[in-house]
Structure 1
């Protein structure tokens, strides 16, 4: 299956498909007050004592701050309800811009993975008695896998868990998880599955036009919960066409076969992990890890 399309028509079609559902944006500080967490940095800069458990989280494509609004804050809150001594940190947003280009072109941001590995290394060296959990959603899951693979054996030994949401790892390099790291991946299956992490059924209808790919984004604002997600959904609808154009080479390459095309199936369900109970399930997993129990 091939699409013949110019960059200009790509931008035009995608824009027309999405702008109808966009809403006005507001002051970012007012909308995304919970999209940033720097718990590990606070420890490293001496503002806080070492925590027994440190979790570093990589947000998904398009998400704001360093933990975003769709999954990171909900996962942080769920962990805080169970772990008393916790440092929660987002991967540096300067090193990891979380764009569509780094998702399609790099299979998850290389800069984000390097930043994650650097932060974990610094924290482990500063707090050698702490246990570390690495986590990520969507492209952030790819960053989590790649960042984990960059750690030295000595630092990796302090990583007790890897937790991912909507993880498309198998669609890219399928990074293996070290045997000493407990792994939990949350993925929406069933009739309204998340195609980025689910096994696609034989009768699944793959897109045959750009409308099939961009169309689901028009529904995203209806899946949003709360002010921050509603604003993020409207912003994403506006930004998606431009990012699609910026990553057109990788995008067009992904249209050449079904395995790569699956990487493009970003449905509204993919944005519901923070509101469907799966962040709480993931927090239960972390809290039950032998190195974390009682902390």
Structure 2
């Protein structure tokens, strides 16, 4: 018999690809998912022989570097759990900061909002549930991602209209928007070598990478189309690659946006650009 904490520590030692604290956090997450254990249970005792076989299978996947969100099929975002799959990015803390900013800055009722490159739908669903009776839309090029987004909206009780759109070649069929938001692909292919294996090997490249030759292609295209989609004085919010804050801001200024701001995330990195149309 071992305490839950002893089991977590011993399992974490087998996750050599992670630092000790992160490994223990991942094992704790796995135990809670399969066994219902929480940190308040850590002094209780149990035997591994009583564990369901699925937890051992999932632990083997964890050893390969596969993100735990894909293993258990869900990831947390802004206080809610969202279904994820290898066709969607895993929702991240930086994107929570983007959502929080939009909520804080836009208390008006009935706003029309479009999220481009919606993935799991975590941005538009959170906005639909947190803002005052907005009309919310989300588009993505991936049909598989749209299926996940629609499932999340249904289960979380959010009214969001999702549709397919390749933003580089098509104009979304939504207009007179108050808010346009996007967390588009923004990692140049040349930065692949600097990325963690669990991101590179498992998350969808379609949602991550842009060409080295034109890393701002999505920002420029969305900002150009935003001039047609946004109402006068409407707002455009981007999540950005920390290296391109000034470039994205300059691009938007040159396109005629005003009140352009580059904002830092909680880690002090340029992460959000906001502007008015």
TM-score for the superposition, normalised by structure 1: 0.33
Greater Rg over alpha carbons, structure: 2
Q: Which has the higher contact order (CA 8 A, sep 6+)?
A: 1
TM-score for the superposition, normalised by structure 2: 0.34
| Higher relative strand content | 2
